[in-house]
Structure 1
Amino acid sequence: MVQTLARAGCDVTLVLKAPIRTGRLVDPLRELPNVTVLSPHEDGLTASEGPMRPHEAAAAIARIDAERPFDLAVVRGRALAGQLAAGPLKGRLWTYLTDVPQSAAEFDGKSKGDLRRIADASRVLLCQTEELRCFLEAAVPATAGKSVLFPPVVVLPDGLEPRASGAPNGKLRLVYTGKFAPRWNTLEMTRLPRLLRARGVEAELHMVGDKIHQEAGFAAPMKEALEKGDGVVWHGGHPRAEAMRITASGDVALSWRDLTMDTSLELSTKVLESGALGVPVVLNRNPMHERLFGEDYPLFASSESDVVDALTLIGKNPELYELAAERCRRAAADYSLDAAVRRMRGYLETTFPKPRQDGKLKVVVAGHDLKFFTKLLDHLRDRPDMEIRVDKWPALKTHDPERSLELVQWADVVICEWFGPNALWYARNKQPGQQLVVRLHRFELYSGWPLKADIDLVDKVICVSPHYASLTLQMTGWPADKVVVIPNWVDDEQFDRVKLPGAQHHLGIIGIAPSRKRFDLALDVLEELRRDDPRYTLFVKSKLPWEYWWIWERPEEREHYEEVFRRVRRSKALADGVVFDAYGRDVPAWLRRIGFVLSTSDDESFHLAPAEGMASGAIPALLPWPGADTVYDEHWIHRNPREMAAAIAATVSEGRWEDERQAAREQVRASYGLRVVEDAWVDLVFGIRSGNVELSSARVRHAGREG
């Protein structure tokens, strides 16, 4: 992490948890440019004689920060992050999550509460693997949208060359580096040379490390096996560079663990280091490892006999050995320091955007519901050239007039989210030389509020699609130059995740209420598909209609849904083909299983779900609701459910799913990617202030062609 941050352009301060006993790890870091290593024990920042406890470490870090405030603080460890979450570093934490419960059974109320507080206090949550990120988002909704990937990083020490290519020549050299513990199967490993000899394979086991787990019935036998085991060579503890040199001199590395660890959501750095050194690894078969090395990787093992079989096989088959080594080399290439630096630079550029001017533009964001503005608000707050204040109205028509008056007298630019009473108030109280921007949604267009406004007092009205911009002009008679199109944003980086097996046969629909969402038409599509292929399944992520009181109290809505659910129960084609998933913020994780996202509504202003699906690598499938072709390419729009089903079936059966979904992803990134939309808003705010607003609508395209 220190090397990554330094190479990404940061001045890095490493605060050590414990007193320095050896320079193995610390000395190389002290030599890096722009890196400062602080030892609170040596600098008198802690009275602890041993490793600092979390509250002691938090106090020491707060003292260091008070002298020279950090822009961000990367912290590893749930207990320490919990302490810092309540302190002055709140909002600047980049928490690296590893020591979290690894299963739903372990996730109790306290764990969820701790992680929710940590997530709320963190700017970014760094996760080792996609599995961990998705698990956290489902268990702790507050982590959704903040969780990003920071996989293990493999850095080879200077001067260390990977193992030369080619199968083992002579005795098979097995290598293990790390701690000695029961669940790591290290005692069982010491039996391998003897067991392999019985199979006609001469082998010796080289073990590196000096930490023996002090568990009754384990520590003594483990130490004895290290010192006296048949074919075992114990090297003791060594600096990382020397341990990796010993690995590079071996033929096969061992990372075979107890079956209880197969559900781990973390990826072993030592596995990747071995791969970078050209040394194939024996390890457990699980979905994460299968994705990394391939399902036919020859060194998967779940038991001692599996390990012996695999090592015997590659010991006698050079071509299988080379296959395993190449798979490991290829896998490790994605975890290089260069890859980590590129990833980190992207996160830093997002969090710390470059200023457009000297001094700060004063901007107020006002509204009763900012859920559609969250990411944009975060970006504006992050900008060094803007100062943002929020006028959060408790309800549509309720606010604190004194607070609003104070803000309107302060601001250079006011952004009203929703064209409702908030926009009317700010238009009436607008100050000389001040600019007012209002974002208009479908809801307000039919409410009557826009027609009550003096449009001369509003500088720009933002609509999310060309269709609704045209409709707005028709219904209001406003001058055309007042209305600008800036689309809804899609956090394309959050949605860009590896698909799960079988996704090409999985349809998804997000939100089925109210009835104008036309869930019944989505069922028509599914029925058509399942007549020929029962693998097609429709996944529904939505609140159910009776969870919305304002929908369920309307007789015509109840009647619609009673018929729809009766149909699902009674239809042989549908009864086992529809899966209802809970409504929640974990949509990016949910979309990993989805190959096609449906939009079957009677009417939409934009419909974000297909765009989110596209960003995830799913193919959008839309019926022609009014204005759909101004938001999405006509290629994705079908005249009726039957034609939609036929297009989906053909895409899969003709082998075009992979190419089509990549094209969809590229389209949505170019048109509605979060960075594209953020830039359009920033251009608008600065442009409107300077009197030049050419930019915004002209640059924004819909998904597939110029708008």
Structure 2
Amino acid sequence: MTRRALVYGDVDLNLIDGSAIWAQSMVRALRDAGCAVTLVLKAPVRTGRLVDPLTALDGVTVRRPHAEGLVAGDAAMTVAQAHRVLGRIDAAEPHDLVVVRGRHIAAALAGDGAFQGRLWSYLTDVPQSLAGLDGPLLGELSRIARASRVLLCQTEELRCFLEQTVTEACGKAVLFPPVVVVPAGLEAHGSARREPGSPLRLVYTGKFALRWNTLEMTRVPRRLAGHKVPAELHMVGDKIHDERSDPEYAGRMRRALETASGVVWHGGHPRERAMAIAAGADVGLSWRRPEMDASLELSTKVLEFGALGLPVVLNRTPMHEALLGADYPLFARTENDVVEVLRGLGENPDVYALAAERCRIAAADFSLERAAERLRVQIEREFPQPRVEARARPTRVVVAGHDLKFFTRLLQHLDSLPSMEVRVDKWRGLADHDEERSRELAAWADVVVCEWCGPNALWYSRHKRPGQRLIVRLHRFELTSGWPQKLDIDQVDQVVCVSPHYADLTRAETGWPEGKVTVVPNWVDVAQLDRPKLADARFHLGFIGAAPSRKRLDLALDVIEELRRRDDRYMLFVKSKLPWEYWWIWKRPEERAHYEALFERIARSESLRHGVVFDPYGRDIGAWLRRIGFVLSTSDDESFHLAPAEGMASGAVPALLNWPGAGTIYDRRWIHESPAAMANAIEAIVASGRWDAERAAGNAQVRDAYALEKVCDAWEEIVQIRK
């Protein structure tokens, strides 16, 4: 099925800059991902150099609100005007996804119920640090995240920042890096580099702005000439910023472009022509002021130059080191650095070749083909096709329970299927609900799914209609609650347990027929969690959820204490609510005594004081796991224990003690008989250089057994009523 995509950005396509390139690339990537794309222009078309290539594409419609009379005047649309125009265009022919770039337009559409759940918001104009996030802005970002189906993030750094500051972004933030489209033939052209004795040809394309060091760049040819290095700088673009902090900047910048020695100003050009000019150069410049080093965005120009075969002079930042390697030879901080690294290129051809190859390899992952594939995969996740042939009308499904946190993505999947219509009966507590609404839903539903085998399951079993199906998912604590023993199993079609061990315990405790009890494991969103690790992650142990005491954080302390005796680089990071934040735990004297002893132990041990870090509980588990190399599970008992599986999805190595049933969920290679054995295994993996191989094996195992898509398919098989 062809999905319809509406695209709008706070972008003037008359000017060549990064945002205009984004608009072009997004339209093309969505089209190649199989969408019918409608692009709405913000400004009247004064030059067709960026728009015309899009209008020529099959499957792409370009809407020009000014020319169509949808907006008066010839000024670029305001946010309010864009909101009205997008609403009008979408109402005439609704779209499946609405891709918008710009915080202000995203906020406007987020407040419009007509766009709820269809927004794919691409945010770059957000603060780059916590200091810039005040209350109103944080509230605005939260509203955008709640209304959005997907948040497209240019870099992993931006995704993690949003997740750690905007709770609603967790689970929705998706990596969508910049897109590099190289016109046919330029790759080969760009591979032919300067001949000995010819001038060093430098190139910059984009906007001219203070923090981009474009004025300083115009001095480089003259300075190189002073070192007997002939050079010329080709600058492409026509957007000169008016700088509030320096009112004279625009004038100085224009004069430098027009008169500086060795500078050739080409003015503005269509993107293809700008890239052709760049392809004829030897080195790209993307060197910026130090205050830009903390940026959460990645320059598209760096990638374009790399795709053309050009090495790039740029700042040393963690993001650039991850992209090009810490030993990349063309990092520069000051104007003097730029001159020195450019002088060195002429003296050492091997350095030039190394830098060019690094940039080329880095750019390969940002191609239009890769972007289209990313979008295609995401569209398939958001709009899944039914695996089971359904009846003539959608199957009516009710999901009932007091706590749906373990069912959220399964619920979203079922609700996304055109073969199902899903409603939720959210109970206020275990036994507290709106009985009138529950009766209405019980009368409406073909299938009822009770999350937790509690009072909700008892109520729906008593109100089950003939021909209706009732499915109950049983976790752990219900087995000792007495509720399963009260459940009329004859009224239940299927009981779902999350592990073979607990399925066996359920049959033993209740005497239910074996055929009524099945196993569907917990899900792990590998796509959300599989992210690049941070430096020294192999020395970092993770522990998720430290309460109640049966989680046995004290045994994890045994592990880290033993490891730190051998190497003090090992650290234990604990992501959890603290026990006193759970009233039902803290009221128990034995629980208090356990944790008082545990924290006193940490306080008395210098090794533990410096080796254990407590991080706040939160949904930003994907960002947190980037620093973790091993995820521990030292519990007395678990029904499944998701933490090791989430760690495996993130590229960490699981390490479990042998709690009952652990071997039915996790490969025994990850299971240890004691904290000392666990510490020995961790040290051996790191010391022998096997960490990368072990974590790759764990990642493959979790993808094969517990990936979200596989678990969703299993639930669709259980829930769907066939013809």
Shared fold by TM > 0.5? yes
Q: Confirm or deny: 8 A CA contact 1:167 1:318 kept in the other structure.
A: no
Task: Tell me what 1:699 maps to.
Answer: none
The 5 A counterparts of 1:215-614 are: 215=243, 216-355=247-386, 356-357=388-389, 358-614=392-648
The one-letter code sitting in structure 1 at the alignment partner of 2:298 is L
- State the Cα deviation string for residues 547-597 of structure 1 (Å, max 9, x = none): 111111211111111111111111132120111111111111000000000
User: Match for 2:209 among 151, 173, 181?
Assistant: 181
Match of 1:77 among 89, 95, 102: 102
Alignment check: 8 A CA contact 1:540 1:579 kept: yes
Summarize deviations over 1:465-517 as a string: whole Å, max 9, x none: 00000000000000000001001101111000000010000000001111111
Give the match for residue 153 of structure 1.
179
Q: Are the aligned partners of 1:168 and 1:251 in contact in 2 as well (CA < 8 Å)?
A: no
1:61 to 64, 70, 86: 86
The match for 1:645 is 679
SS of the residue aligned with 1:613?
helix
What's the offset of the Cα at 1:156?
1.1
CA distance in 2, matches of 1:459, 1:598: 36
Return the match for 1:172 from 187, 195, 200: 200
Cα deviation for residue 165 of structure 1 reads 4.2
**What amino acid is aligned across from residue 168 of structure 2 in structure 1?**
A
1:693-704 pair list within 5 angstroms? none
Supply the distance in 2 between the matched residues of 1:429 and 1:214 (Cα, whole angstroms): 70
Aligned-partner Cα distance in 1 for 2:40–2:242: 28
Offset from partner CA, 1:601-631 (integer Å, 9 cap, x none): 1111110000000000000000011111111
Structure 1 counterpart SS, 2:191 = coil
On the 8 A contact 2:193/2:282 being kept in 1, the answer is: no
Q: Which amino acid aligns with 1:340?
A: A
- Provide the C-alpha distance between the structure 2 equivalents of 1:378 and 1:677, rounded to a whole number of angstroms: 13
1:200 deviates by: 2.1
Instruction: Give the equivalent residue in structure 2 for 1:33.
Output: 58
1:115 Cα offset (Å)? 0.6
Could you list the runs of 5+ residues in structure 2 that have no partner in the other structure?
A: 1-25
- CA offset at residue 263 of structure 1? 0.4
1:51 aligned onto 2:79: no
Matched, 1:97 2:129: no
Aligned counterparts of 1:444 and 1:223: Cα–Cα separation in 2: 73
In 2, distance between residues paired with 1:632 and 1:618? Answer: 14
Read off the aligned partner of 1:197 and give its amino acid letter: A
Counterparts of 1:137 and 1:75, CA distance in 2? 19
Which region of structure 1 is more displaced relative to structure 2, 158-167 or 354-363? 158-167
Q: Is the 8 A contact 1:167 1:322 kept in 2?
A: no
Secondary structure of the equivalent of 1:12?
strand
In the other structure, the counterpart of 2:13 is none
Query: Is this contact kept in 1: 2:194–2:200, CA < 8 A?
Result: no
Whole-angstrom distance in 2 between the partners of 1:210 and 1:258: 21
Q: Distance in 2 between matches of 1:168 and 1:247?
A: 17
What is the CA deviation profile of residues 498-545 of structure 1, one whole-angstrom value per residue up to 9, with x for unaligned ones? 000100000000011111111110000011111111110000101111
Q: Is the 8 A contact 1:167 1:321 kept in 2?
A: no
Provide the alpha-carbon RMSD of the alignment. Answer: 1.1
Using the alignment, how far apart are the partners of 2:394 and 2:588 within structure 1? 50
Partner residue in 2 for 1:201: 229
SS in 2 for 1:620: strand
SS of 1:163 mapped into structure 2: helix
1:322-367 CA distances to partner (integer Å, 9 max, x unpaired)?
A: 1110001000000001111111110011111113335311111111
CA contact (8 A) 1:542 1:581 kept: yes
Q: 1:209 is matched by which residue type in structure 2?
A: G
**SS of residue paired to 1:29:** helix
SS of corresponding position for 2:375: helix
Distance 1:71-1:690 versus aligned 2 partners, 3 A rule: closer
- Is the Cα contact below 8 Å between 1:540 and 1:580 reproduced in 2? yes
Distance 1:167 1:238 in 2: 24
Give the secondary-structure state (helix, strand or coil) at the position aligned to 1:124: strand
Alpha-carbon distance between aligned partners in 2 of 1:354 and 1:561, rounded to the nearest angstrom:
49
1:75-128 per-position Cα deviation (integer Å, ceiling 9, x unaligned): 100000000011111110000111111011111111110110000000000000
Shift in Å at residue 41 of structure 1? 1.1
Relative distance call for 1:167 and 1:228 in structure 2 (3 A) is closer
8 Å contact 1:360–1:385 — kept in the other structure? Answer: yes
Deviations 1:53-91, CA, capped at 9 Å, x for gaps: 111101111111111111110010000000001111111
Comparing 243-252 and 393-402, the one that deviates more: 393-402
- The whole-number CA distance in structure 2 between the counterparts of 1:46 and 1:382 is 35
Q: Distance in 2 between matches of 1:103 and 1:57?
A: 29
Q: Distance in 1 between matches of 2:153 and 2:110?
A: 18
* Equivalent position to 2:218, from 158, 167, 190: 190
Find the partner of 1:621 among 655, 659, 663.
655
Instruction: Answer yes or no: is 1:140 the counterpart of 2:166.
Output: yes
More divergent stretch after superposition (199-208 vs 659-668): 199-208
| Alpha-carbon separation, structure 2, partners of 1:58 and 1:160 | 39
Name the TM-score, length of structure 1 as normaliser: 0.96
Instruction: Name the counterpart of 1:703.
Output: none
Q: Residue in 2 aligned with 1:123?
A: 149
The number of residues matched between the two structures is 689
Contact 1:138 1:586 in 2 (8 A): yes
Aligned amino acid, residue 214 of structure 1: D
Q: How does 1:637-676 map to 2 (within 5 A)?
A: 637-676=671-710
CA contact (8 A) 1:638 1:644 kept: yes
Cα offsets for 1:375-405 (capped at 9, x unmatched): 0011011111111011111111111222111
The Cα shift of 1:157 comes to 2.0
8 Å contact from structure 1 (residues 166, 322) kept in 2: no
Helix, strand or coil at the partner of 1:397:
coil
Secondary structure at the aligned position of 1:334 is classed as helix
CA distance in 1, matches of 2:577, 2:463: 39
Q: Which amino acid aligns with 1:77?
A: G
Compute the displacement of 1:164 (Å).
2.4
Counterparts in 2 of 1:48 and 1:578: CA distance versus 1, 3 Å: farther
Partner of 1:12: 37
Shift of 1:690: 4.5
Give the secondary structure class of the aligned counterpart of 2:204: strand
Residue type at the aligned position of 2:380: E
Which stretch shows the higher mean deviation, 285-294 or 396-405? 396-405
> Aligned residue for 2:17?
none
2:596 & 2:149 partners in 1: Cα distance? 44
Q: Deviations over 1:236-286 (max 9, x none)?
A: 111111111110000011100000000000011111000000011111000
Instruction: Name the TM-score, length of structure 2 as normaliser.
Output: 0.94
Q: What displacement does 1:213 show?
A: 1.4
Q: Which amino acid aligns with 1:65?
A: D
Counterpart amino acid of 2:661? G
Question: C-alpha distance in 2, partners of 1:245/1:656?
Answer: 45
| Inter-partner Cα distance in structure 2 for 1:653 and 1:148 | 34
| Mapped partners of 1:248, 1:359: distance in 2 | 57
